[in-house]
Amino acid sequence: MTERYVPVGWNVTKLVYDAVALAVIGIYISVFLWVAPAFQHVTLPLDDYAMRMNAFGTCAFLLLSLILSIGPATRLDPRFLPLLYNRRHLGVLTAAVAVTHAYAALDWYFSYGLYDRFEMLLRGNTSFLQVHGFPFELFGIFALLILLLLATTSHDFWLRFLTPRVWKTLHMSLYAAYLSVILHISFGALQVAQNPLLAAVVLLCVVGVAVLHVAASRRPVTTPITDGWLYAGAVDAIEEDHGIVITPPDAAEPIAIFRHAGHLSAVTNLCAHQNGPLAEGRVIDGCITCPWHGYQYRLDDGRAPPPYEEALATFRLHIIDGHVWIDPVPNIPGTFVAPVAVP
Amino acid sequence: MRRRHRDVHRVTWRVMAFLLPAIVLLSLMMRQTGPTEAPQVQLAPPK
């Protein structure tokens, strides 16, 4: 929603968000390096380099689990929304931590070899037919490449260049990265870990993330069409300055209906920025406000207030005996539709 | 989120909900247990 290119549109919220994230990462790494030596097995002591590799590796895994939990947690409880606003910053930080882990691993395993470190990493282990000793590094490399790709394309420039649909599809590859990270840990660290704490933490994170996603992805109830009009429920079910979402029975996208100042308006539920769920947002200053990043749209024509140029598809609706009916055929984005007064 | 993305997301996590814990548990079950250290190499015959 910027009118000119800026690397990052810094504001106080973003600065605080990043400062807290950096502080938490720094504290975690420091505490890990301070506490972990006391828990290592007496027969397999680790030196400082290996400790550093483990500290950054576990930190990247925990951050990735956190990032994947933010979306579903927000859908289940809006109090997590502040974590969502700058989730991309957390993603970039995670990629940086993961790169540090990879660099430490390269140093630890291949510094004294006869061949190039990267060549040793890719060709040094070919034990593909056994669990213990499997070249788990390859899973880590795959996950790291995805994290770097997502971090590189996290800026709004790429969102506009690729279009929200392609960008979102690309960034769903984070799920593949998480699967790859789990394989990396399972075939690597878990095979040699002497302390059960790592296995417990990994299992807890994996189950937690999966349960959150399944719980938050309940299938929406589709609304039947009568004489070309969708039934959207009773007017009283829509709170002032809030929205509800209506899901048509065909493959059409969901529709958001908002109530503001005694009138109803309907627009697509997809924010023009990242396809965020507008009906989960609120009306602020007379504009629909996306819960994800605060993009705003006018209620009567779905247009972002000047100087911004985004526009949403609008829908016709009417009220009969206190019940709302909506025409599921979308208007061209930005088309004016007079809000309907609530009797 | 677009309907198609939401459907892909839903199916993906239904699969991952079983797959991820299964991978972790299987890997733990297949760990080498018992003594894994190599026997000490005798460099010279005892005197």
DSSP assignment of B1-47: --HHHHHHHHHHHHHHHHHHHHHHHHHHHTS--S--SPPPP--S---
Q: Is A342 helix (H, G, I), strand (E, B) or coil?
A: coil
Give A174-183 pLDDT, tens digit per residue. 999 999 999 9
Chain A residues close to B20, C-beta within 8 Å: 178-179, 182, 206-207, 209-210
Does the beta carbon of A284 lie under 8 angstroms from any beta carbon of chain B? no
Does the beta carbon of B44 lie under 8 angstroms from any beta carbon of chain A? no
pLDDT of the residue at A1: 46
Q: Is 0.90 topped by the overall pTM?
A: no
Question: Per-residue b/e over A29-52, b at no fewer than 16 CB within 10 Å?
Answer: beebeeebeeeeeeeeeeeeebbb
pLDDT of the residue at B44: 64
Chain B residues close to A191, C-beta within 8 Å: 27, 31-32
Does the beta carbon of A215 lie under 8 angstroms from any beta carbon of chain B? no
B16 vs A210: CB contact, 8 Å cut-off? yes
Beta-ladder partners of A298: A287
Q: Could you check whether the bond before residue B39 is cis, i.e. omega within 30 degrees of 0? A: no
Q: Where are the alpha helices (DSSP H) in chain A?
A: 12-35, 48-76, 81-85, 87-110, 117-123, 137-152, 156-162, 164-171, 174-187, 189-192, 196-216
> What average pLDDT does range A265-275 have in this prediction?
90
Which residue of chain B has the CA closest to A253?
A: B3
Does the beta carbon of B24 lie under 8 angstroms from any beta carbon of chain A? yes
Does the beta carbon of B22 lie under 8 angstroms from any beta carbon of chain A? no
Give A123-173 pLDDT, tens digit per residue. 777 777 776 777 888 999 999 999 999 999 988 788 888 888 888 889 999
Give A305-341 pLDDT, tens digit per residue. 988 888 999 999 989 888 899 998 899 999 999 999 9
pLDDT of the residue at A141: 94
Read off the tokens for B12.
Answer: 């993906």
More confident residue, A75 or A271: A271
User: For chain A, what is the mean pLDDT?
Assistant: 86
A168 vs B1: CB contact, 8 Å cut-off? yes
> What average pLDDT does range A16-23 have in this prediction?
92
